[in-house]
Structures are given as C-alpha cells and as structure tokens.
A = this chain, B = another copy of it.
Amino acid sequence: MKVKKKKKSYKTSNLPPGTIAYRGEKQSTITNIEIVNYSKEEFTSLNSSSVEDAFNFEGNDHVTWVNINGLNNVKDIETLGLHYKLHPLTLEDIVNTGQRPKLEEFEYYMLVVFKMLFIKNDDEIHYEHLSLIVGENYVLTFQEADGDVFDDLRERLNSAKGRIRSQGSDYLMYAILDAVVDNYFTVIEVLGDKVEELEGFLFQSKDADDRTPGQIQKLKQEVLKMRRSIYPLREVISRMEKTDFAFIEEKTHSYLRDLYDHIIQVSESVDLYREMIWSLMDMYMTIISNKMNEIMKVLTIIATIFIPLTFIAGIYGMNFKNMPELNSDDGYFILLTGMFILFIFMLIYFRKKRWL
C-alpha cells in the first residue's frame, strides 16, 4: 500500500520538468488553509478556503504562518508561489511526495522538505510529505492532509507560552521542525515496542510459529523505510545549523544545534533497532534449529529403543521347526526380562547423553 504511494509519485517521470501535479494518495482531500498571524502582542488564527486571506497580514513586525493541508489544489499553491516569488522547481518539490528530505536556499526564502511521521489510532506508522518555506516574516507549510503534530505548538502560540511569540520566523521554523523531530521519538518508541514484543515472544516461549519470519521481514522494511525518511534530515539540519542565511538569527543557531543533537539521537536509535531486528532473524533460526533437534531427539529415542526390541520379537516370531528357546517353559519370561533390562540400559544411555 505504502509502496504504491511512492510509485505513483514516480509517475511524474513522464511530465516535463517543472510541472506541478500532486500524485499522492490523498487526492480527494479538500484543501484546508490555516492562517496564523502573530507578534509579541497580537495573535490571529483563522481557517480559510482562500490563500489570498494570508496576504492581508503582511508587515515587518508580524510573523505569518500559512499552513496548507492538502496538496490537491494546485491553483492555491501556484497563487502562493506567485505572491512569495517561489521558483517553479520549489512548487514541484512541494507536491512531489516522493521527494527525499532536502534543504534549498533561494534568494528570498529557504525551502525545507521532510517527512512527518506519526501514529494514528491503528498503531501503524504514517508518513506525510511536508514542505516548509521560511521567508523574512512568513512561514509556509504544505501537508498532504489534515492532522499533524503541531497542536502543542499552536497552543503555545495562542497562549504566548515560552519564548515563541517574541521571536521571528526562523524560530517558528525551528519550532515546527522540533515538533516533527520530537514526534520521531514517539514513532521509534512504537517501533521499539514491536521489536521488544517480538523479542520477548522469542525469548520466553522459545517457540516460534511460521508467521514470525514474516513479522521480522515487515519490521525490517519498516525500519528501512524509516531510515530513508529520517537519515537525510540529519544532513539537512546540519547544513541549516551552519548556513549564514539572512533570516536565521544568531541565537536561533544554538536551538538548531540542539535540534541536530535530537535528530542524531533519533537516527542512532533507528540504527540500534535495525541491528536488533537483524539479530532477531538469527535468533529465530536458532530456535527453529533447536526445535528440529528436539524433534529428532524424540524420534531417535523412540526408534533406538523399539527397533532393536522389535527385531528380537521378530526373531522369536520365526517359524523354524527347531528353535530350542521356544520350547523352554521360562523362555518367554526370560526374554521379557532381557528386553526390560535393554530398555533400562537405553534410558540410562540417553540420560547420559542428556537427551532425556
């Protein structure tokens, strides 16, 4: 399902470069525009269906955040592009959900493309393509659909908690990235839970059904996909930290350094779980092998005890005329005793071999 989504984005391959067309999964979504405008003293937030509403708020001492939910309505995006003088390739990057995380500096703005990971009710990890454009006193964000990880941020903006209201658009960009990266931790936690659950299952039950390799394989793919979304962001934030882009104030750099620490930590956790998942396969193989040994032991014990005994019984089941033992009165009982002794002997042998 997810792979399909990626594929569709490839289909832009037959379009001339610079064509803007969203081919992601969420085609039917109605575009929802959220406009937040704030300064130290003021705060306005409104949902609109027209991007032009955002252009009223301009001014040097305000920060305007336009958040587009739904990449379907290409016209709105183009209107924004015209107003904020966005490069055609930027618009293409915004709607191309297959685009990997990257940072690009233009004359009037900086573009950051990355992935928002979050957990919905179904305990599945969802990936959303997110583009962020930061200019002198505005921030534009483009999401594929409604629902994001910015509720805390909105609350802080509204209630003027923390230092955010007294900072510029660069700090808002940092706050948005920070919200996304912080949410990576939650997502990794869910991945970690799955890994540990599977590991615990393998450890305790020392048992494994044949769905286990499939589950491990699925975790492998999950972690590979996550890595692809998270790894390039390391480089993005590292470059952002070092950039001398005009809008990034000096004091924001220490926050970006902190953000970089977080993304490094995230990617190290991903690597750790990756190694653990690879190890799980080894463990599963040893469990299978151990079970095989167990099965073979049972078979061997049974066969080794009864096959010789059956042979002896077969001997005395023969119909030779002259078999002296058969005529002895105690022959049968002596034989049974002998068989019993052999049986005990075998048991001792297997116990010595630690098979019992």
Whether the pair B100, A268 counts as a contact (CB closer than 8 A) is yes
The answer to whether B311 touches A186 (Cβ under 8 A) is no
Q: Is A341 an interface residue (CB 8 A)?
A: no
A47-55, A57-65, A76-84, A281-289 - interface stretch:
A281-289
Nearest CB of chain B from residue A9's CB, rounded to whole Å: 9
List residues of A (300-356) whose CB comes within 8 Å of B's CBs: 300, 302-304, 306-311, 313-323, 325-332, 335-336, 354-355
Q: Which of B321, B328, B331 contacts A329 (CB 8 A)?
A: B321
Q: Offer 20 A-B interface pairs, CB within 8 angstroms, sorted by A.
A: A7-B189, A7-B192, A10-B189, A17-B175, A17-B258, A89-B258, A98-B265, A213-B282, A213-B283, A286-B288, A288-B290, A292-B292, A296-B299, A299-B300, A299-B303, A310-B314, A313-B315, A320-B326, A320-B332, A322-B331
- Cα-based distance from A285 to B314 in the complex (angstroms): 41
Stretch at the interface among A31-39, A121-129, A216-224, A238-246: A216-224
Residue of B with least CB distance to A179:
B13
Among A17, A164, A308, find the residue whose CB has the most chain B CB atoms closer than 10 A.
A17
Partner-B contacts on A (CB < 8 A):
3, 7, 10, 12-14, 16-18, 87, 89, 92, 98-100, 102, 104, 152, 156, 161-164, 174-175, 178, 182-183, 185-186, 188-189, 192, 196, 199, 203, 206-207, 210, 213-214, 217, 220-221, 224-225, 228, 254-255, 257-258, 261, 264-265, 268, 272, 275-276, 279, 281-293, 295-300, 302-304, 306-311, 313-323, 325-332, 335-336, 354-355
CB distance from A302 to the nearest CB of B (A): 5
A331 close to B326 (CB less than 8 A): no
Identical copies of this chain, number: 5
Asked if A89 meets B254 with Cβ closer than 8 Å, knowing A175-B17, A289-B289, the reply is yes
Asked if B290 and A185 make an inter-chain contact with CB atoms under 8 angstroms apart, the answer reads no
Q: Are B311 and A261 in contact (CB under 8 A)?
A: no
- A16 contacts B321, CB within 8 Å? no
Residue of B nearest to A211 (CB): B206
CA distance A265 to B178 in the complex (A): 25
Nearest chain B residue, comparing its CB with the CB of A251: B87
Task: Apart from A14-B182, A213-B286, list 4 A-B contacts with CB within 8 A.
Answer: A10-B186, A14-B152, A322-B330, A322-B332
How many angstroms from the CA of A217 to the CA of B204 in the assembled complex? 13
**Residues of chain B contacted by A307 (CB below 8 angstroms):** 302-303, 306-307, 310
Asked if B304 contacts A300 (CB within 8 A), the reply is no
A255 and B174 CA atoms in complex are apart in Å by: 28
CB neighbours (8 Å) of A178 from chain B are: 17
Residues of B within 8 A of A288 (CB): 286, 289-290, 293
